[in-house]
Structures are given as C-alpha cells and as structure tokens.
DNA sequence: CTATGTAAACAAC
DNA sequence: GTTGTTTACATAG
C-alpha cells in the first residue's frame, strides 16, 4: 500500500559484488572452459594473475606492451581462451599497484589465440573492488568474429560458440555485462516458488519464442556492432535479491507475499506477450497476472485491477483493439513499442535440475526463451551467479557508445562512468575529449525524430534528460549505463515491430487501427515510425525543418511537458526512448559532424526511422513519455533516437566479434515486423546510400575517412546474420564498410565501473588490410604485439 | 521532475 | 458490474 514503495524493485539498481559470486561454486561450470588452468578461485587466481601481470608474465601467452601513444596505458594481448575476468582482475590490481604513475589503463586485445576453447572468460567484475582507476579496453585482435562469425553460425560445431569467443575476452565481458544488466532476480524466486504457471507458461511461450531465438542470437551478434558503454558496475551488479537471498528465492511464500518487482506496465506486457497473438482482454490480463504473480491474487488490494486499467489507458504503448464484431476489446502492445517482453525472459531458473542448482543453466540455455537464450549463449561464460536467476531485463539505461580511435593518436579511453548521464557524458566527452585531441568523441546527438523529448539538445547536463541521454549519444556512442532501474529494457527487444496486432481488424497501422484508442499516441507512433508525414495531431511537431524544428520543438516540448505534467494523460510512446541506448545512425554525415549537441535532424532524411519509441520495459516502463511526440521525423533535437529498437537493429550490425552489448536482440522475429520502425527505414532507406554511421566516424576522426566505411563496417554485409533477409538490414551492408570500429571494455577501477567502448581502430589506409572485419591487426599498430 | 502506484470520479456498455 | 478514461494525489528517486 502506501507504505510500500511504489516503485517496483526492479527498477532499482543493484550492485553486485561481482567477484564474489564467481567464487562461489557456480562459476565452476564456466571455468572449465578455460583452458589453462587459470583460475578457479577467482580471487586467488586473480591475484596470481596479477602477479604475473606485474611481472609481465601472463598466463597463457598474454602479452603486455605499452601503448604507443597513451601514457599509462598498456595493450594486453590476450588469447581467446584466456580468462578475461582474471585478467581484468589482475590488470586492475596492477593498475592499482602502479598507482597513478603506472599503467592504469589497459586495452585488451584478443589475439586469436586459441579459439579453441570456448569463450570462457567472463570478466566479472571485480573491478569494482579496486579503487584505483584502471581502464581496460578489450579488443579483438584476431579474427573478429563479427560478421563472419555470424556467418559461421550455421556451421556445425564449434563455431557458434567460437565466434563469440573469438572475441573472447571482450565478449565474455559483454556477456557478463549483459547478464548482470538485466538481472532480475525476483522471478527466480517466483519461479521456484510457485509459479507453476510460469513454467507452464514458459513452455508455452517458449514455443513462440523459439523461432525468435535464432534471431536473437543473431541479434546479439549484431548487436555487437555497436559499442555500448556501460559501467560494469551496473552490469555486474547483480541483481539484488537473488543471490542475496538465495534461499529465499524459492520460498513460495515470498512469491505470494512479495510483490513482484515489476511495474504494472511490465506485467501487462508480460501478459500480453505471453499470448501468441499478443493481445489479451482485460480480464485475461488480470488472470494472467494473478496466475503468475500470486501476490495479486492473494495479497494485493482489489485496487490493483484498477491500476491495471489505469496503466492500460495511460500508456500509449497499450493499444486497445476491438474485435471484428466490436464486442470484445483486446489490449495489445503497440508494435513499435513492444519489446516482447515475457516473463520468461525475465526469469531464469535458478538452477537446473533443481531449481536452484547451477546446472540449471544449461537447461535454461536450451530454453526457448529467446532472449534468454541469447544471453545464455553468450553467457555461458559468465559467472554463474550472474546467469542464474532472473534474467534481467535490459537495462534501459543509458548507454553510450563511445567511439574511440585507438591507436592512432591518442587513444582515449573513456571512462565510462555509467553514472554520467549520457547527455552529460556526451557533452563532457565531447568537450573534453575534443580538447584533448580526443579521440573519443561522442557522437553527435542525432536526433531526428525524436522529438520527443527534446530536451534540449544540448548537453546540458540535464537531469531531465535522462531520457535524452540516450539520445544524446549518438549513434556511436551510446553508452549504456544501466541505470538502474529498469530493467526493463531489457528485456525483450522487440523486434521491431512485430506484426502482432494485426489480427484483428484493421490495424495495420497502429494508429489508425485502433480506433478507439489513443489516437494521439498512435499518431505519434506513426509519425515516428513512419516518415515524417506530418500528422495532424501532433501539431506541434509537424514537421518542420529540422533545424527549426529543434528549437521549436523544444519549446513545444516544454509546453507539452508542462501540460503533460499536469495531467498525466496517456503517456505516449516516445519515440525515442531515451533511455535506451540505441544506436542511432546518423544518416547524414554532415550532421554527424556536428557537435554532439545537436543532432541535427538532418537526418531527417531518414528520420523517421529512428524514431521509434522507446519503451519496452524500458520504454514501457518508463513509459512513454508523455509529451513526446513523435514527430518523428522531426528533427529533434537532441535526441537521438535511441530506441530500443535501435538496439535491436544495431545488433544486426554486429560488431566485430565482440559482443559486449547487452543489448538484446530481438526476439525473433524478424519477421514481419513492423519495422516500420525505424529500423527498416533506417537501414533501408537512408542507409543504403548513406553510411550509417557517418557520424561515428566523423566523430571519431576529425579526418573523415571515407564515409563509406562506417564504423560498423566491420561486418560485411554478408556477415551479418541478419535475421531476416527481408528485413531491413541494409544497414549491414553499409556497415560492412567499416571495420574500424570495435568494441572495447574500459575498466575503470576508480569508478568501479567497467564500460564498453567503441574503439575506432581504423587507421586510414589500413582498414582494408587489417580490418577485415575480423581482424584488426594490432600488430601493425603495435609492433610489440607481434 | 519523472515514474509509478493508488484512489476515485465518470462514462459507456 | 465491467471496462476505460481521466484526475488527483502520494511517494521514491
């Protein structure tokens, strides 16, 4: 009731003590993978490794060399099979020891080493413990799996895992991150608890999701393409509860007595997405929730139903459809907003056989659950602790991708403190970096469409902007911080649009379709998703020229905001979800160049695409922002459209081998979706001709390489596993060009955060040679590595 | 301020 | 009574 916190637990950010967990037996599983014997007790080993590192001896062929240009930075070539975590730990320790004078930043490069073994490494985040600041960047040296890997997927055996592995370290890291990011443990309890229904349901869902899995996997891979920065802390942070109360987890009582950590919005989504048609009547929603969350059945006040209704009406993402005959109303999730979150996704069984045993993991992996699977796959490497229990929803958080140019000049390592709001981060980065010659730049905000929020583009440090944050970052940069809360995001990514709705009557286009419902929203959505055709409704947005629009928008927004604030009316989906990190592609190179601050809408060209909403859990959770309107096309200011979808999209792009990104991929569906969302648009349209990421590059390099090559290029089109052929993944192609960008991890011990960063290692001229998407030859840059 | 939760008034069935 | 929509208010962050 009142006393209880209103916010769902989920939202809270958890911090994990990373290290510890591993130690716990769980990790054992993973460990096996590791080749040599490194590790085991995490700490012990870590220390061991550290020692080694210090001495310059590294376990398996690890080589450390001083970074050519960066002070206090060393490049560590790590065999694929090496245990990244340990290495990170060691490096961290080393950094600490070194003190400010010594090397405190490390760039990890995976050398092809022996891909033989599975990815094992999982960087856990021990970093957190260290106080000193150490940054580690992981890069894949050898063959980057990226696109190629993807291709490989199909192949038998080893490949699947390996691909990822190739990235090994990085990947592992990524995995971990992912896991932790989303973790929600609560369910864990539930699962065991008594949600029998859950299980059942899961299976059911599993069905649905299965096909998705594949796609997701792909997505993961793809996702890799973009770099996300997130603080490890977040990522690593474990879910609060789960581990903490393991014991409890199972108790049924808890499930019954404890309120689920999910917001009504999330639960509604779970419910709706649990059906094949992705639609559900109010009553069924109630039933589903009661069945899956006993708390509501037994403990909650009757008012919870009112709250459900309230949420349905309030959030634009929920669209009411009327059956053909008009007699029955079904609630659906706007495709563009739907992340297809399901309880399954959120939940992970703690243990295999027994509910809590670790082994369970495997089984889980097998599970259909798409997302889960995705993660799982990757996760294999992760610490068990992380894996188990619930699957965290994606953090919506802000993620920022930061492109960094590596070798060339000074590589800059961003500190990703996640905490920093994207916008800020961006601004900071941009400014600072710039000053320094920064190699890292933040992508300009793009924006486009979004309108939404418009918060001011500028970077202002705005708090408000949270949402914006995402936006702020540009494509390249998106960093994710996990803010906490939200798990949401995670969740499921929707594929863009799923076609769900359609069934009923008319809805092809959401907006229109739903007659009754929230037109406003719908429009906005439309706008967003579709081209900018102006829609009446949102008058404000209209489409103005971008530039103008921006300013105007801002104004408008404010106004709206105010209005909104006054009354909570429906929350519109915001197109851009701010929180979520999406990658935005700026289509326009020119724009990209701009300062981050503005993102010009220039993209307008493709603007629409971006848009998208944000939501999902993230989005949804966050809900739509009320005010935003979507004009999608509009230029919005700053906000880059980071929409969840974007993520998804991005994934396709895959990044090189590393997959840090926590992003989830779409579940599957690549299918039909409504891509209307931006993705398609983006990818297809504009992208074709335009390099997706111009911006990044530009950002990164003052000197533009050729636009054609995008940062993401690393994957070749072929590589991409694009989930769907049909789907828009054109991006990929465009991406193909760029190989220079890669993901990296930055470990900031000072902040105890580990972030992913995008590294631009391209050197003019070298790209082709080196970069095969797969490989970057660091050796060229760094002789020592040879 | 935002996101969320809760309550309640109302309206349409 | 159910379903939906809106307002208003409370609370945590």
CB A230 within 8 A of CB A418: yes
Among A534, A619, A540, A545, smallest CA distance to A575 is for A619
Dihedral sign, CA of A307, A310, A312, A317? Answer: negative
The half-sphere exposure of A776 on its side-chain side, counting CA atoms within 13 A, is 39
**Distance, CA of A409 to CA of A443 (rounded, Å):** 18
Inter-axis angle of helices A186-194 and A196-223, nearest 10: 140
Q: How far is the CA of A281 from the C1' of B5 (A)?
A: 22
Tokens read off for A602: 């220039």
Q: How far is the CA of A561 from the C1' of B1 (A)?
A: 10
Query: Who among residues 535-594 of A has its Cβ near strand C, under 7 Å?
Result: 566-570
Query: Who among residues 228-287 of A has its Cβ near strand C, under 7 Å?
Result: 281-283, 286
Longest dimension (CA), chain A: 76
Rounded alpha-carbon distances, angstroms, from residue A774 to A226, A232, A341, A407: 15, 25, 33, 17
For chain C, which bases have at least one atom within 7 A of a protein Cβ? 2-13
Query: Who among residues 762-781 of A has its Cβ near strand B, under 7 Å?
Result: none
- Does this model's pTM top 0.95? My answer is no
Phi, psi of A682 (to 5 degrees): -60, -55
Task: Give the pLDDT score at A110.
Answer: 61
**Distance, CA of A269 to CA of A498 (rounded, Å):** 14
Enumerate residue ranges in chain A where pLDDT < 70. Answer: 1-62, 67-73, 75, 78-105, 107-255, 346-786
**Distance, CA of A452 to CA of A447 (rounded, Å):** 10
The residue assigned the tokens 């997405």 is A273
Q: How far is the CA of A456 from the C1' of B10 (A)?
A: 38
Burial of A99 from C-beta contacts in 10 A (0-12 / 13-18 / 19+):
exposed
Task: Give the pLDDT score at A93.
Answer: 64
Phi, psi of A86 (to 5 degrees): -60, -40
Q: How far is the CA of A511 from the C1' of B11 (A)?
A: 23
The three-class DSSP label of residue A329 is strand
A314 touches strand C (CB under 7 A): yes
A320 touches strand C (CB under 7 A): yes
* Length of chain A (residues): 786
Task: Give the pLDDT score at A300.
Answer: 86
Task: Give the pLDDT score at A605.
Answer: 36
C7 C1' closest Cα residue: A567
The half-sphere exposure of A690 on its side-chain side, counting CA atoms within 13 A, is 27
A312 touches strand C (CB under 7 A): yes
B13 C1' closest Cα residue: A327
Burial of A679 from C-beta contacts in 10 A (0-12 / 13-18 / 19+):
buried
Among A62, A179, A63, A176, smallest CA distance to A127 is for A176
A516 touches strand B (CB under 7 A): no
Tokens read off for A188: 């864990």
For chain B, which bases have at least one atom within 7 A of a protein Cβ? 1-9
Q: How far is the CA of A180 from the C1' of C7 (A)?
A: 39
Strand pairing of A478-480 and A399-400? antiparallel
CB A85 within 8 A of CB A122: yes
A303 touches strand B (CB under 7 A): yes
A306 touches strand B (CB under 7 A): yes
Among A70, A48, A52, smallest CA distance to A61 is for A52
Task: Give the pLDDT score at A643.
Answer: 36
**Distance, CA of A326 to CA of A520 (rounded, Å):** 21
Inter-axis angle of helices A159-182 and A84-98, nearest 10: 60
Find which nucleotide's C1' atom is closest to A309's CA. Answer: C4
The half-sphere exposure of A574 on its side-chain side, counting CA atoms within 13 A, is 36
**Distance, CA of A422 to CA of A578 (rounded, Å):** 10
A327 touches strand C (CB under 7 A): no
Q: How far is the CA of A463 from the C1' of B6 (A)?
A: 27
CB A34 within 8 A of CB A65: no
């Amino acid at each position: 009731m009142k006393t209880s916190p209103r916010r769902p637990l989920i939202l809270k950010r958890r911090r994990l003590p990373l290290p510890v967990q591993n130690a716990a037996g769980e990790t054992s599983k993973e460990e096996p993978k590791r080749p040599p014997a490194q590790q085991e007790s995490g700490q012990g080993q870590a220390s061991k490794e550290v020692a080694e590192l210090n001495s310059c001896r590294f376990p398996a062929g690890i080589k450390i060399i001083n970074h050519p240009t960066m002070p206090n930075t060393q490049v560590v070539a790590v065999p694929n099979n090496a245990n990244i975590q340990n290495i990170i730990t060691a490096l961290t320790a080393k950094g600490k020891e070194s003190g400010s004078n010594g090397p405190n930043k490390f760039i990890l490069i995976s050398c092809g080493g022996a891909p033989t073994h599975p990815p094992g490494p999982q960087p856990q985040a021990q970093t957190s413990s260290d106080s000193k600041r150490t940054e580690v960047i992981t890069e894949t040296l050898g063959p980057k799996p990226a696109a190629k890997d993807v291709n490989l997927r199909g192949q038998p055996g080893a490949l699947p895992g390996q691909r990822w592995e190739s990235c090994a370290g990085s990947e592992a890291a990524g995995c971990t991150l992912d896991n932790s990011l989303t973790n929600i443990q609560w369910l864990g309890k539930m699962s065991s608890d008594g949600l029998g229904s859950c299980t059942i349901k899961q299976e059911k869902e599993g069905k649905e999701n299965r096909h998705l899995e594949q796609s997701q996997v792909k997505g993961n891979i793809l996702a890799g393409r973009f770099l996300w920065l997130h603080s490890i802390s977040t990522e690593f942070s474990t879910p609060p509860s789960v581990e903490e109360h393991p014991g409890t987890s199972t108790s049924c009582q808890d499930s019954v007595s404890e309120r689920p950590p999910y917001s009504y919005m999330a639960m509604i989504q779970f419910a709706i997405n649990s059906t094949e048609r992705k639609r559900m009547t109010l009553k069924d929603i109630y039933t589903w929730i009661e069945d899956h969350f006993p708390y509501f059945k037994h403990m909650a006040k009757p008012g919870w139903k009112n709250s459900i209704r309230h949420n349905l009406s309030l959030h634009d993402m929920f669209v009411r459809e009327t059956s053909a005959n008009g007699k029955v109303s079904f609630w659906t999730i706007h495709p563009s907003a739907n992340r297809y979150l399901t309880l399954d996704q959120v939940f992970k069984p703690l243990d295999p056989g027994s509910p809590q045993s670790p082994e369970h993991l495997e089984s889980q992996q097998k599970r259909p659950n798409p997302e889960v699977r995705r993660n799982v796959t990757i996760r294999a490497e992760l610490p068990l602790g992380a894996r188990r229990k619930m699957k965290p929803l994606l953090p919506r958080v802000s993620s920022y991708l930061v492109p960094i140019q590596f070798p060339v000049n000074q590589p800059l390592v961003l500190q990703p403190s996640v905490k920093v709001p994207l916008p800020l981060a961006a601004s900071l980065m941009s400014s600072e970096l710039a000053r320094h010659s920064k190699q890292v730049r933040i992508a300009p905000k793009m924006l486009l469409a979004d309108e939404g929020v418009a918060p001011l583009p500028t970077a202002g440090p705005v708090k408000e902007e949270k949402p914006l944050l995402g936006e702020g970052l540009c494509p390249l940069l998106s960093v994710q911080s996990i803010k906490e809360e939200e798990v949401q995001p995670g969740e499921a990514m929707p594929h863009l649009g799923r076609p769900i709705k359609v069934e009923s009557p008319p809805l092809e286009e959401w907006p229109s379709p739903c007659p009754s419902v929230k037109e406003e929203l719908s429009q906005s959505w439309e706008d967003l998703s579709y081209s900018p055709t102006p829609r009446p409704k949102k008058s404000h947005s209209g489409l103005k020229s971008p530039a103008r629009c921006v300013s105007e928008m801002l104004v408008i927004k404010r106004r709206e905001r105010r209005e909104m604030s006054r009354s909570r009316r429906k929350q519109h989906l915001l197109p851009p979800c701010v929180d979520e990190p999406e990658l935005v592609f700026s289509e326009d190179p020119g724009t990209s160049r701009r300062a981050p601050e503005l993102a010009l809408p220039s993209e307008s060209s493709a603007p629409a695409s971006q848009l998208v909403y944000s939501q999902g859990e993230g989005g949804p959770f966050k809900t739509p922002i009320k005010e935003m309107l979507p004009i999608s096309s509009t230029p919005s200011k700053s906000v880059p459209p980071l929409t969840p979808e974007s993520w998804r999209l991005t994934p396709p792009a895959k990044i090189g081998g590393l997959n840090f990104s926590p992003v989830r991929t779409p579940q599957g569906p690549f299918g039909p979706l409504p891509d209307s969302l931006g993705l398609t648009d983006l990818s297809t349209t504009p992208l074709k001709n335009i390099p997706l990421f111009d911006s990044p590059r530009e950002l990164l390099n003052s000197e533009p390489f050729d636009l054609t090559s995008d940062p993401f290029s690393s994957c070749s089109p072929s590589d991409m596993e694009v989930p769907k052929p049909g789907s828009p993944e054109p991006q990929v192609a465009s991406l193909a060009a760029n190989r220079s960008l890669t993901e990296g991890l930055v470990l900031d011990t000072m902040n105890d955060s580990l972030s992913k960063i995008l590294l631009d290692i391209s050197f003019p001229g070298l790209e082709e040679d080196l970069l095969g998407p797969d490989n970057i030859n660091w050796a060229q840059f760094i002789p020592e590595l040879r």
